[in-house]
């Protein structure tokens, strides 16, 4: 591990430990939570959080110099695709945390929903602290706002509807722009999936049966996507093939895997994870330049 700032690492580690102690005390005192699952959450949460931070450091921060903690206003960058990514991450982490705390067959549990939203928000706040100590970036209040909305969307739906009628999903396709700036947009597809905003599309996938019960099949979703193209630089002022970067909007069909009935616990768990990803499907694309395009199969 190439942590160049031991103070940062120790601070983050202490915050994680204190956070899990406090959240664990709350969970242990909640009679409606299965305590075996609380212990499982400790193992899952602690191992995943620490492992993710180590991997994130190697993938994202290791090649950049550290600095004193500072903030940075990046709200105008990358056509806000990165902000939508933060919203998606907070929502998805909350949803997966909830699955671990309650189990695939559990009824809604408001205490578990609250713990799940708080833990996902705390983890992403830790990532923001990493940014704050990185010379390349900085602590972003815009990112924090997106994290709040994402965790809040999960928590609000779980409390009001006892399910997630509107899912946030992700898809990625390789772009030729990544090869032009590999240090920024990723040197391979794995890095590109995190760094190349040109290839990322984020979706709000609405379960039609959840809105109107007569719609069949129950797993059919209508998905609205957002992305961007031509972003070689964060400031959106780059010219690629004679065109500036521009926003893209999508309309497509999708699958709500969690609405597929099965008695298999393994399949139910797999479907929860799969529901974070948008299924490739015929898609209509509109962009802010007034253009449109139909994709028979869009990733």
Please say whether the beta carbons of 110 and 26 come within 8 A. Answer: no
Cα–Cα distance measured from residue 152 to residue 148, given in angstroms and rounded to the nearest whole number: 6
| Domain spans in the chain, listed from the N-terminal domain onward | 1-163, 165-299
The whole-model pTM stands at: 0.85
Q: How much is the pLDDT for 123?
A: 83
Q: Which residue has the tokens 């984020």?
A: 202
Cα–Cα distance measured from residue 276 to residue 298, given in angstroms and rounded to the nearest whole number: 16
| Side-chain half-sphere CA neighbours of 132 within 13 A | 20
Please say whether the beta carbons of 68 and 241 come within 8 A. Answer: no
Provide the pairing of β-strand 220-229 with 246-255.
antiparallel
Please say whether the beta carbons of 267 and 275 come within 8 A. Answer: no
Q: How much is the pLDDT for 13?
A: 55
Q: Residue 97: name the closest of 40, 170, 19 by CA.
A: 40
Cα–Cα distance measured from residue 268 to residue 208, given in angstroms and rounded to the nearest whole number: 20
DSSP 184-202: HH-SSHHHHHHH-TTSEEE
pLDDT by residue for the chain (299 residues), tens only, comes to 344 455 555 555 555 555 555 555 555 545 555 666 666 666 666 677 777 777 776 666 767 777 788 899 999 999 999 999 999 999 999 998 888 888 754 556 788 888 889 888 988 888 888 888 888 788 999 999 999 999 999 999 999 998 999 999 999 999 989 988 898 898 898 889 989 999 999 999 999 999 999 999 999 999 999 999 999 888 876 666 666 889 999 999 999 999 999 888 889 889 988 999 999 999 999 999 888 999 999 98
Other CB atoms within 10 A of residue 93 CB:
26
Class of residue 148 by CB neighbours under 10 A (exposed 0-12, middle 13-18, buried 19+): middle
Q: How much is the pLDDT for 253?
A: 97
Please say whether the beta carbons of 91 and 154 come within 8 A. Answer: yes
Q: At what angle do helices 110-132 and 141-160 cross, to 10 degrees?
A: 170
Q: How much is the pLDDT for 4?
A: 45
């Amino acid at each position: 591990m190439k942590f160049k700032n031991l103070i940062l690492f120790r601070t983050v580690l202490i915050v994680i430990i204190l956070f899990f102690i406090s959240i664990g005390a709350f969970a242990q005192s909640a009679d409606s939570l299965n305590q075996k699952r609380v212990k499982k959450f400790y193992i899952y949460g602690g191992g995943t959080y620490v492992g993710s931070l180590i991997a994130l450091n190697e993938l994202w921060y290791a090649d950049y110099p550290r600095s004193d903690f500072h903030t940075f206003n990046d709200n105008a960058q990358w056509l806000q695709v990165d902000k939508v990514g933060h919203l998606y991450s907070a929502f998805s982490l909350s949803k997966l945390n909830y699955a671990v705390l309650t189990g695939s067959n559990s009824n809604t549990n408001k205490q578990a929903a609250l713990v799940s939203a708080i833990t996902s928000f705390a983890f992403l706040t830790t990532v923001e602290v990493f940014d704050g100590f990185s010379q390349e970036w900085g602590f972003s209040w815009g990112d924090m706002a997106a994290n709040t909305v994402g965790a809040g969307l999960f928590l609000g739906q779980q409390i009001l509807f006892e399910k997630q009628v509107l899912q946030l999903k992700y898809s990625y396709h390789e772009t030729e722009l990544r090869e032009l700036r590999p240090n920024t947009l990723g040197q391979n597809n794995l890095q590109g999936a995190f760094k190349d905003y040109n290839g990322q599309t984020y979706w709000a996938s609405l379960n039609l049966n959840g809105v109107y019960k007569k719609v069949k099949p129950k797993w059919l979703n209508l998905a609205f996507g957002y992305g961007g193209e031509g972003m070689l630089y964060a400031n959106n002022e780059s010219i690629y093939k004679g065109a500036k970067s521009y926003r893209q909007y999508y309309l497509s069909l999708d699958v709500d895997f969690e609405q597929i009935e099965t008695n298999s616990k393994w399949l139910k768990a797999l479907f929860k994870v799969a529901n974070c990803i948008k299924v490739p499907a015929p898609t209509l694309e509109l962009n802010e330049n007034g253009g449109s395009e139909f994709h028979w199969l869009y990733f």
